[in-house]
Amino acid sequence: MADILLLTPPFTQLNTPYPATAYLKGFLNTKNISSYQMDLGIEVMLALFTRESLELLFEAAYEHERLETSNTQRMYALRHAYLRTIEPVIAFLQGHQPTLARHICSDNYLPQASRFEQLDDMEWAFGNMGMQDKAKHFATLYLEDLSDFMVECIDEHFGFSRYAERLGRSANSFEELYNELEEELSYVDQLTIDILDERIAKVQPKLVCISVPFPGNLFSAFRCAQYIKTHYPEIKTAMGGGFPNTELRSLKEPRVFEFFDYITLDDGELPIELLANNVLLPAYKNPDFQLFKRTFLLDEKGEVLYNNFSLRQDYKQSAVGTPDYSDLLLDQYISVIEIANPMHSLWSDGRWNKLTMAHGCYWGKCTFCDISLDYIKLYEPVAARLLVDRMEELIAQTGESGFHFVDEAAPPALMRAVALEIIRRGLTVTWWTNIRFEKSFTRDLCRLLAASGCIAVSGGLEVASDRLLDLIQKGVTVAQVARVTRYFTESGIMVHAYLMYGYPTQTVQETVDSLEMVRQLFEVGVLQSGFWHQFALTAHSPVGLEPEAYGVMPHLADITFANNDIQFTDKTGINHDQFSFGLKKSLFNYMHGIGFEFELQEWFDFPVPNTTIAEDYIVRSLEDAPYPITKPSAKIVWLGSTPSVSATGKSKKGKALVELTFHDQRDTVSVNLPEPQSEWLLAMLEKAAPQQEKPLVFNQLKADYLLHFDHFDAFWYSDEMEVVREIGLVAV
């Protein structure tokens, strides 16, 4: 039993839980408020993909004469093969039957329908991928075939991570969603309700809090709330999460409250505590009686009221507790590999513990972003030691050492501090995050991040045009992005670029030139992954708040329900939609190392101008990178092991020479130094070890050297010290 049931409705990710309920449960633990959490998405998926369930689906499709296409007819004819294979395939994707990979990769195990028709095109893209990954890809196609069957024959709204998404996308009116909720339950709805009912009976909550991160969760959230209100009217229901935070800030529709008693906005910790106090405590014991934080509810007249009457301040990030993943079925999530995009595979393959280095965005200026909202606007970093404490707690709780830091943009200084703390504690972790491609990411910092377990970063290159990057207020240039991505790549950290087209005032020439920039970045090997997004006008971005200033004419509608994405007309009159296919096709090829020699016109079926970008623009940008000068305040960190020492004779000036031999995971290198300098260097390397409590700072190192020797700069920038830096000495 628990007072609060925290619920993520279908569907988000299949491979790892969406972290919102784990964050809230961790916070509620600090307040001694009992809670239970569940991810209905994975539970419904696992109930759906069983032999028994599929048998019912095939029978229903046949009895209702819904086998209207050759694809569904083929799948029905192969139904016994699907029934025989479904449970072993799910077990394989859960990591329980790895030996099944060879069988899956053969041509005589999985039944194949329309999704497998792309295999001839995709085989080259995946290359000689390992047996396990190849089998995951085949198994993913197999599940997508079954998903197509569901959509065509059983439930038109079905989707692995976007259930009934159309109903939630910028639904300015509640009418369509409300009418859909009046319809009979679909097969997936019924599965959802059955599992929910069983859990309510077990937990017996007084308050059900439903987190809705995306439009694709919205319909299921209302279905769950509808069932609770009908069958458990004494239970209070609340909605929070990413969707209401961005879409429901202008809520006026009272019918929403036939399903939910409360809808909260922005950070959930204080709002959920106040909800709990108002629901769980009698009024005379509740100091917060009828005081809420950023909460919509109905007043006595039945009108929508925004209650933000509590004067209490939101909790600092240091006080919200460690995310708690207990109750979730962590060993039953499934890893899938959908497309040949290295970064996207991180999203869908493997279990990741989710953490946040800093609340909000330290930059907070990009004009396409919702920088007016608190989740972006209010920046607050978490201390590195506390973050790594939380990492250790989560490793102990979940058994997983992989971390996805879900920051808007992780701050470089904090990333440095976290990396140093991870290395100091001797932890073996794997982590990735989102960044800005700013100049703070030096070659040495990237090497430090890699040494701590960072395997990938993603960042916004956006339009790859300096004029438009300036208009966006991105704070970077294309040349700077090229240098930073080179440093990450040379350190062994994969780089993914978010790319944008159709930004207001963007010309056809600038779109073509942006593509040329991207082509060159992939050709020189400093980008490994990317994805083109078309610009979307959102209500809470600077462009959305002042569209006229950006040459945009919004198509405004009367808002009673959702308000975020806004339809608009660009005053340039350019149809940016036409570029979508060509941009994505070219990028797909570039990611796999081909097509660089093609003229850009080859990717489009309509005339485009020649690029105005010099063919060696990126190469010259990399060559023109300024020589790195170590800052006086830089921390000096020795990431290598203790070198071996041997005498090698004397220099031309008669001084004794010492050979220092350094070993890392791949190489062995040696340098010869005069004996006094070698002894000094060995002492400094010991002081620069990351395990030292007090860091060695560059100006201290320089001052110490000058106590014993002359000409520090000549020594520090010598060929010998360049070798030492290559093998593991970094200044960050």
- Tell the CATH superfamily of the 4-41+163-311 domain: Response regulator (3.40.50.2300)
The amino acid sitting at 557 is: A
Cβ partners under 8 Å of residue 682, min gap 6: 642, 643, 645, 660
Range 179-183, long-range pairs (CB < 8 A, 24+ positions): 180/219, 181/219, 181/222, 181/223, 181/226, 181/259
Residue range 41-57: average pLDDT?
96
Asked whether 43 and 328 are in contact (CB, 8 A), the reply is no
Helix H, strand E, coil C: the string for 159-226 is CCCCCCHHHHCCCCCCHHHHHHHCCCCCHHHHHHHHHHHHHHHHHCCCEEEEECCCHHHHHHHHHHHH
| Amino acid code (one letter) for 292 | F
**296 contacts: CB under 8 Å, gap ≥ 6:** 248, 251, 262, 263, 264, 265, 304, 305, 306, 307
Mean pLDDT of 172-198: 94
**CB-count burial class (<10 Å; 0-12, 13-18, 19+) for 716:** middle
| pLDDT over threshold 70, residue 381 | yes
CB atoms within 10 A of CB 51: 12
The CA distance from 501 to 235, in Å, is 47
Q: What three-state secondary structure class fits 534? A: strand
Predicted confidence at residue 627, as pLDDT, reads 80
The pLDDT assigned to 121 comes to 56
Question: Stretch 384-402: mean pLDDT, rounded?
Answer: 97
Query: Residue 164 — pLDDT band, cuts 50, 70, 90?
Result: low
CB-based contacts of 123, cutoff 8 Å, min separation 6 = none
Closest CA to 181 of 160, 164, 162: 164
With beta carbons less than 8 A apart as the criterion, state whether 669 and 726 touch: yes
Provide DSSP, 492-533: T-EEEEEEEE--TT--HHHHHHHHHHHHHHHHTTS--EEEEE
- Hey, what are 533's tokens? 């997004």
d(CA 606, CA 575) in angstroms, rounded, equals 12
- Is residue 166 predicted with pLDDT exceeding 60? no
For position 117, what pLDDT does the model report? 87
What CA–CA distance (Å, rounded) separates 468 from 510? 9
Please check the confidence at residue 547 and state whether its pLDDT lies above 60: yes
The Cα 259–Cα 268 span in angstroms is 20
Distance between first and last Cα of the chain? 50
Q: What is the mean pLDDT of residues 325-343?
A: 87
C-alpha span between 402 and 391 (Å, rounded): 9
Cβ-contact 472, 462 below 8 angstroms? yes
Q: Is the pLDDT of residue 684 over 80?
A: yes
Beta strands in 408-489 (DSSP E): 430-435, 454-462
pLDDT of residue 655: 77
Mean model confidence pLDDT for the chain: 93
Specify the range with the lowest mean pLDDT, choosing from 151-165, 457-471, 489-503, 706-720. Answer: 151-165
For residues 142 and 103, the answer to whether their CB atoms sit within 8 Å is no
Q: How many CB atoms lie within 10 A of CB 147?
A: 16
Total length of the chain: 732
Q: 337 pLDDT exceeds 90?
A: no
Segment 94-138, tens digit of pLDDT: 999 999 999 999 888 999 999 998 765 555 555 556 788 889 989
For residue 248, give the H/E element and its range: none
Q: Report residue 340's pLDDT band, with 50, 70 and 90 as the boundaries.
A: low
654 or 52: which carries more pLDDT confidence? 52
Compute the 3-state secondary structure of the chain and give helix, strand, coil in percent, each to the nearest 5: 45, 15, 40
Give 506's contacts (C-beta < 8 A, 6+ positions apart).
Answer: 463, 465, 468, 535, 572, 574, 576
pLDDT value for 41: 95
351-623 placed in CATH 3.20.20? yes
Which pLDDT score, from 0 to 100, does residue 131 have?
84
pLDDT digits (tens, 9 = 90+) for 418-427: 999 999 999 9
The domains of the chain are located at 4-41+163-311, 67-153, 351-623, 635-731
- Which of 218, 163, 161, 222 is CA-nearest to residue 188? 163
For residue 665, the model assigns a pLDDT of 83
Rounded to whole angstroms, the Cα distance separating 180 from 373 reads 31
Percent of the chain whose predicted confidence (pLDDT) is above 70: 96
Instruction: Give me the phi and psi of 347, to 5 degrees please.
Output: -70, -35
Cβ atoms of 337 and 345 within 8 Å: the answer is: yes
- Predicted confidence at residue 171, as pLDDT, reads 73
CA–CA gap between residue 178 and residue 193 (Å, rounded): 18
Residue 61 · residue 303 · CB < 8 Å:
no
What pLDDT sits at residue 222? 97
Model pLDDT, residue 558:
83
Report how far residue 536's alpha carbon sits from residue 215's, in angstroms, rounded to the nearest whole number: 15
**Cβ within 8 Å of residue 582, ≥6 positions away:** 603, 604, 605
**Phi, then psi, of 435 in degrees rounded to 5:** -140, 175
Q: CA–CA separation, 16 vs 334, rounded Å? A: 8
CA neighbours closer than 13 Å in the CB half-sphere of residue 279: 22
d(CA 461, CA 38) in angstroms, rounded, equals 37
Phi, psi (5° rounding) for residue 536?
Answer: -120, 135
Positive or negative CA dihedral for 191, 194, 200, 206? positive
Confidence of residue 604 (pLDDT cuts 50, 70, 90): very high
pLDDT at 674: 92
Lowest mean pLDDT among 93-107, 463-477, 596-610, 653-667: 653-667
Q: Which of 52-61, 340-349, 532-541 comes out lowest in average pLDDT?
A: 340-349
Contacts of 202 (CB under 8 A, 6+ apart): 1
Q: Is the pLDDT of residue 165 over 70?
A: no
Q: How far apart are CA 416 and CA 408, in angstroms?
A: 17
Question: Picking from 271-285, 505-519, 550-564, which range would have the lowest pLDDT averaged per residue?
Answer: 550-564
Would the CATH topology of 4-41+163-311 be identical to that of 351-623? no
Query: Would residue 95 be called left, alpha or beta, if left means φ above 0 and alpha means ψ between -120 and 50 degrees?
Result: left
Token couple for 639: 């990431």
Three-state DSSP string of 217-244: HHHHHHHHHHHHHHHCCCCEEEEECHHH
The closest of 320, 455, 321 to 397, measured between CA atoms, is: 321
CA distance 369 to 363: 11
Q: What DSSP element (H or E) covers 296? A: strand 295-298
Question: 71 falls in which pLDDT band (50, 70, 90)?
Answer: very high
